[in-house]
Structure 1
Amino acid sequence: MASWLLLLWLLALFPGAAPVPFKPRAAGARAWEPSSPELLAPARFALDEYNRGRAAGSRAVLGTVRGRVRRTAQGSLYSLEATLEEPPCKDPLVCLLPVSKKTMLCTFEILNELGKHILLRRDCGPVDTKVTDNRNESVSSFLPQLNSDPLQQDFSMKITSVFKDFVATYNRTYESEEEAQWRLSVFARNMVRAQKIQALDRGTAQYGVTKFSDLTEEEFHTIYLNPLLREEPSKKMRLAKSLTDPAPPEWDWRKKGAVTEVKDQGMCGSCWAFSVTGNVEGQWFLNRGTLLSLSEQELLDCDKVDKACLGGLPSNAYTAIEKLGGLETEDDYSYQGHVQACSFSAQMAKVYINDSVELSQNEQKLAAWLAQKGPISVAINAFGMQFYRHGIAHPLRPLCSPWLIDHAVLLVGYGNRSNIPFWAIKNSWGSDWGEEGYYYLHRGSGACGVNTMASSAVVN
């Protein structure tokens, strides 16, 4: 795909942007050589990379291939344009769009050096789709009537049916018929958006219906995310000492008893408090041998530097815990999901911390620290998480910039699935989101800024 076409197509994911369908390269834009046997080996390698991590039955097959080869000092550089045929989607909660062609058009840059192929670049997008995402459309125009295109009509009926299931599953009630119709239109647009995110993800993540599917993007950001993470300067903490032991191949603190059950922050931007309490829970367990569920509400009420449901920073929260004299348990100081008067009692505190440290941005060092020292508080860009269902997310960097972090979470482990490295992340949106409350994100590429704000409490 030409770079400017790719950019416009990506921009269709953002509010107010007009959708731009993926189209083949214009004739004459690049001098492609006819397909030759020499192109098949790099094309098959590119196909294997495209299908990496996919289960049998969901892998694309190679269609047409054309391209050219340039000889370099390092070997041969192949520039390919190929069509890939996707199998029909079998998950009705993920693939709702009436795509007329299950065909992807991809451009690849592949270097062959000493007989080994290396994928330098991959750009893929659907050749054609029938659904548009116009945010100014009314409900009636977005959900066509009986005299409309049969394909659109089928989409309308499918969306309406899935929306009814969504309302029943998540026990949604709306104040009026007009509100219900509005939420249906938001839901339909969100399904379009979820499939665009799906098409651009380089991992194995599946996006579709979640409990947030009837919220606009603005509502979701305002209610559940934490803009202070990128807007407010983080308090300086001392750097943790580097560890000499290498990271084991995989690690999971859930299996070792250091992680409490997934919690739910509710309609409150308090992720920063949950990230910190999760870290302190792990530190106390590793140093004192007892796993306690600790109070996020104490931080909402008593941390006067942060802004409760309007957001906060983990670095401030550690300081607040030290100054207060510790944390009470969840049972003694229960979560309400809104700020109230501070009722912390030092006599009721069950846990204390001595200090806090900032951790390396090197993901290998982060993995080594996690395996030896415990779960880590981190901040990420939550792009796509509104519609995340399962799998390993790996969004394109321009869409999930590390400079735009807006959600605090907890690293509890890492490993590999189908040779794809991942971080196991405990979220705070309840166990009815994601993989039983967990999010899996690509490891080793700085995906979504996961390595930019890593920290931990210190318990002596």
Structure 2
Amino acid sequence: MATSIANLALFLLCIVNLIMISSALPADFSILGYAEEDLTSPDRLIDLFELWMSKHGKSYSSLEEKLRRLEVFEDNLKHIDEANRKQTSYWLGLNEFADMSHDEFKARYLGLDRIDVPRRRSSAGSIFRYVNAGDLPKSMDWRKKGAVTHVKDQGQCGSCWAFSTVAAVEGINQIVTGNLTSLSEQELIDCSSENNGCNGGLMDYAFSYIASTKGLHAEEDYPYLMEEGTCEQKKADLELVTISGYEDVPENSEESLLKALAHQPVSVAIEASGRDFQFYSGGVYDGHCGSELDHGVAAVGYGSSKGQDYIIVKNSWGSRWGERGYIRMKRNTGRPQGMCGINRMASYPTKDQ
């Protein structure tokens, strides 16, 4: 009898401890990737680092490099934990970027040419075909409508602009033809001469390239290399996906962005250089960021959850980042440029029937 009471007491104590830990964090261990004790115990920190290395297939060239990465890992873990304790609407976690300093991360994964928005060149002047669109659905998710391909990974190449462009073209092609075809970012990197390959680019210039040529090859016919290659635009006897042009969404107008997004996926640019972006794991993002655009992504829907309105954004940092490769960014912020400048430089491809 005494043993049973003792076991029950121990069980209840474990439950209390679990509740205390959970109340201090916005999600459980499996989501965040760490526990509270990992920040206070050197041994647990090392064990966590080793576990993280194994999970993400990490290895280092020397013991010195491994120790340096452990220091970066610890600093990132402290930032993640501090951010999570602010009780915000989103949370951070240990992902594959946890051994990279923020400066390293920005240099490798952001790749939008920083130019003034008015310098964008529209293929159709000031035309915005959705200007009079009304009765928009309360929510839209092009993933559920079969117009979005799998989440891709740009790797250590500043080609986000190409992935943003391709996602929008894949979307309109499926909407018009009924066929969802994964298209080639590598062709844009190699052949879109107005852009700078792995050193950055702009989605409008990429749309212009596709519209002025015979189209874009499928990903399987022109696979991604994660580096700049030789243009092989004229591959014989291979099917191409075409667009007729592109149009720009009026700048700093969330209403216009939603009108476009209700009809098709849209290429957008954001400022993703905030440290929280590196470790975003879930929730509606409303963290600190400006509107100095440095990253191209694709808006693929919008909706609301628990009183918070958001835009669904497809990223190109692999499916282990964020919500399986996506981020929900807060809308209705009261700022014309939107969260992280998402309303500043949106555009979409057009395709004839």
Output the TM-score relative to the length of structure 1: 0.65
Distance in 1, Cα, partners of 2:204 & 2:175 = 21
Residue aligned with 2:303, SS:
strand
Instruction: Indicate the SS of the match to 1:408.
Output: strand
1:292 aligns with 2:181: yes
State the match for 1:246 in structure 2: 135
Give the equivalent residue in structure 2 for 1:141: none
User: Partner amino acid for 1:374?
Assistant: Q
Matches within 5 A, 1:158-307: 158-199=44-85, 202=88, 204-230=89-115, 234-237=119-122, 238-239=125-126, 240-241=128-129, 242-307=131-196
Q: Name the larger-Rg structure.
A: 1
Equivalent pairs, count: 320
1:431 paired to 2:319: yes
Report percent identity of matched pairs: 35
- Gaps (5+ residues) in structure 1? 1-57, 61-85, 99-150
Output the amino acid matched with 1:356.
Y
Paired AA for residue 187 in structure 2 = E
Of 206, 216, 220, the match for 1:327: 216
Deviations 1:146-200 (A, max 9, x none): xxxxx99834333222211110110001000000000000011111222344455
Q: Distance in 1 between matches of 2:32 and 2:38?
A: 17
Q: If each structure's strand is expressed as a fraction of its own residues, which one has the higher value?
A: 1
Which of the residues 339, 348, 351 maps onto 2:241? 351
* Paired AA for residue 224 in structure 1: Y
Higher relative contact order, structure no. (Cα contacts within 8 Å, ≥ 6 residues apart): 2
Cα 1:374/1:364, change in 2 over 3 Å? same
Structure 2 CA distance, aligned partners of 1:157 and 1:59?
24
What TM-score results when the alignment is normalised by the length of structure 2?
0.84
Q: Summarize the alignment of residues 390-405 of structure 1 with structure 2, pairs less than 5 Å apart.
A: 390-395=282-287, 399-402=288-291, 404-405=292-293
Check the 8 A contact 1:283/1:374 in 2, yes or no. yes
Q: Give me the CA root mean square deviation.
A: 2.5
CA distance in 1, matches of 2:323, 2:190: 30
CA distance 1:442–1:232, change in 2 (3 Å): closer
- State the alpha-carbon separation in 2 of the partners of residues 91 and 274 from structure 1: 32
- Which residue does the alignment assign to 1:368? 259
SS of 1:256's equivalent in the other structure is coil
Choose from 30, 36, 43 the match for 1:157.
43
The structural deviation recorded for 1:419 is 1.4
One of 81, 86, 91 as aligned partner of 2:28: 91
Q: Which one has a larger percent helix, Structure 1 or Structure 2?
A: 2
Do the aligned partners of residues 459 and 152 (structure 1) sit closer, same or farther apart at CA in structure 2, a change above 3 Å counting?
closer
Q: Report how far residue 233 of structure 1 moved.
A: 6.7
State how far apart, in whole Å, the 2-side matches of 1:184 and 1:425 are: 31
Q: Distance in 2 between matches of 1:314 and 1:271?
A: 9
* Amino acid in structure 2 at the alignment position of 1:364: E
Structure 1 residue 94 displacement after superposition? 3.6
